[in-house]
Structures are given as C-alpha cells and as structure tokens.
A and B are shown apart, each in its own frame.
Chain A
Amino acid sequence: MTLDRDAFMRYSRHLLMADVGEQGQETLLESRVLVVGLGGLGCPVALYLTAAGVGHLTLCDPDNVDLTNLQRQILYTEADCGEPKVDCALVALRALNPSVTFNTHCAVVGDSVLPEGGADFDVVIDCTDNLAARHWLNRRCHELGIPLVSAAALGWEGQLMTFDFARGSRPCLACAIPEDAGEPLANCGNSGVIGPVLGVMGSLQAIATLRLLLKGTNGADNEPYRPLLQRFDGRRETWTRFAIRPVSQCPVCGDEQPETHGNDIHQDKNTERKQL
C-alpha cells in the first residue's frame, strides 16, 4: 500500500514522527480493530481510531441512543435519540474519515462478532459496562491470542488493563477480578459518572491500541511484558499503577483450565445483559 496525496496531508502529523512514519501509517491503515460498546468509552475510542486511520473498524453495541447518554457519549446528537448507536456512530465516523471501512453489529457481543474458531482482529477494545461481557471478551481473546484493551469508569474514577495475549497468555482479567464475582452494586446508571473521566480512559485505550498496532514498526517499544492495572482518580488528577500477577488457579489462564473454557460463559444468560 502507498499513501496518496490526500493521505499524506491527512496523516502528516503521524508521518512526521520517527516511530510512526509512512510504514507505521500503512500498518494502521491495514489494521483491524473491534470496539465493543459505543458508550462513554467507545465514543472517544472510535473517534480517535477513525481519525488516526485505523483502516478497518468493527463496532458492536445493542443499544439505541438515549437522552441520558448525551452528557458523556460524544458521538451523538439530540437528533440521534431513539436510533441505534451503531448507525449514528457510523454516520459521524464516516464523515470524519471516509477511507476507513466499518462493520457494525447492533447486538450484544457474542460468537457472531468474535467467533470461537478465529477472528481477524489485531486488537479488541472492551468499552462495555458490565463484568459478564468483560469476562466473555477476556476468555475469547485469551483463547484466540488477541490483545485486549479493557477500561472502565464510575464516578470520578477510571481504570485500565491491557492484556497483550499475543505476547503472553498470563495474567488475564480473571486474575484481577474473579469470574464468579457477579456485578457490583454501583454502576453509572445508579451512581453516575463524570463524562471526561470516560474521555481520559477512552483516550488511553486508543493510545494503548495504537501502540499495540505499531509494535512491529516501533523499535522503541521493547519493554518486557508487565500487565498493569492503572487507576485514575479524577478528583485529584492522580494515577496509581498496580502489577497484575498470574493467579495459579485462574479458570481462564491458570494451570488447570477446563477443556471447554471457550463456551461456558457464553451460554450463561448473564452475557445477554445489555451492555451500555
């Protein structure tokens, strides 16, 4: 692939960077990324990746735009209320960068989006709002060896965990949060969330994704693989980092994994919960 004149102008601020450059931009244009959830996290993630020229984006969300979303979900306008998020997002993102190809799924994430037998994605981004969907994505990405960039927010707090399953199979999300923990009592719907906290976390997910995609062209990025939980406190504008250690009895990545681990969770009714 070679960049045409318009692409040279559009991506000039990438091309100026030694560790992106033309080769990096071409890598981005050939990349395939799945964004699961188009709420407060998914909006900035989809906007930044579309703007950056990540060439093939798949968007997945089962919900329609609601007036209560507009305080933080920056892809949508008042006129979008009642319409499927994936449709509204598609219009806005195509207007931003028509050279990106989009696939949309107006559905809860499942086998049709991320098949058990293999899926053609370089990175999966977890922008969902419930642990059932997060754990399903964790199992499936672990099984397929696809890097997973998972973020969450509530109130003034955000957290980010990136698991590069292409580089190392352990630890995983279930090492940090047990799969059988159920859903917490507090969520954005009953406890609220500050919009820009989602913007910070979504932006960081987009940064993590670009770094993962550019890994092959970015010689500087050769740090050992050490998965972290990064926590952001918006009230104090502070970050805290925690190391995530592999848990030996982890049912997903531990020493004794059940044979059928890819299917179990998906058949759980909990995964049919709405996501955003």
Chain B
Amino acid sequence: MIKVLFFGRLGDIAGAEERKVSVPEQVRTVDDLRQLLGEDGEALAKALNEPQVMVAVNQDLVEWDHVFEDEDEVAFLPPVTGG
C-alpha cells in the first residue's frame, strides 16, 4: 500500500485529499501511478497530466521516472503560478 496525497484543487477533483492505494506490480514509477489514478476519471487524468504538475515522494520533489516503494507517500501538487 502507498499513501497518495492530492494537494489543492487536485483534491477537489479527486474527491479526497488522501487515498490509500494498493498498486499492481507493473506500476513502478510515479508516472505509472499517475496513469493508474487517472483511470478513475477524465477530469483527474487531465489535471494530473498538466505539464506543470509536481510530484513528491516522502516530501522530496522527484522526476516522473522515480520508482516508488511500498509504504511511500506520494504527493501530487497542482501548478500555482499567480501573483
């Protein structure tokens, strides 16, 4: 099991800020995880795949090919660029 956190409006779209997810063996990278979570609905898939979305594992920002491990906390952060 891993813990998935949806920040800000990603949580509004996902309908939860936090989700426990058991992932199939072939889902290894955070990008794989993003695609898996996106299967829940088009709106979430679109929001997670915006190119400015950031992803963190255990509070370290990582690249999309990062391989996560069991029990990790994976956070998706929507872009915030206003000022």
Assess the A244–B81 pair: CB atoms within 8 A. Answer: no
Give the interface segment out of B26-34, B37-45, B49-57: B49-57
> B3-17 vs A: 1/0 string, CB under 8 Å?
000011100000000
Assess the B8–A156 pair: CB atoms within 8 A. Answer: yes
Query: Inside 8 A of B83's CB, which chain A residues have their CB?
Result: 37, 39-42, 126-129, 151-153, 188, 198, 275-276
**Which chain B residues numbered 50 to 83 have a C-beta less than 8 Å away from chain A?**
50-52, 54, 56, 59-63, 75, 77-83
Assess the A184–B60 pair: CB atoms within 8 A. Answer: no
Known pairs A177-B52, A245-B60; A155 contacts B81 (CB<8 A): no
Assess the A188–B8 pair: CB atoms within 8 A. Answer: no
CB distance from B62 to the nearest CB of A (A): 7
Assess the B63–A247 pair: CB atoms within 8 A. Answer: yes
Given pairs A154-B79, A242-B59, 19 additional interface contacts (CB within 8 A): A41-B83, A129-B81, A129-B82, A129-B83, A134-B81, A152-B81, A154-B80, A157-B8, A157-B78, A159-B80, A177-B52, A177-B79, A182-B51, A183-B52, A184-B78, A187-B82, A233-B7, A242-B61, A245-B61
A-B pairs with the 5 shortest C-beta distances? A188-B82, A184-B79, A181-B51, A129-B83, A157-B8
Q: B-side interface residues toward A, CB under 8 Å?
A: 7-9, 50-52, 54, 56, 59-63, 75, 77-83
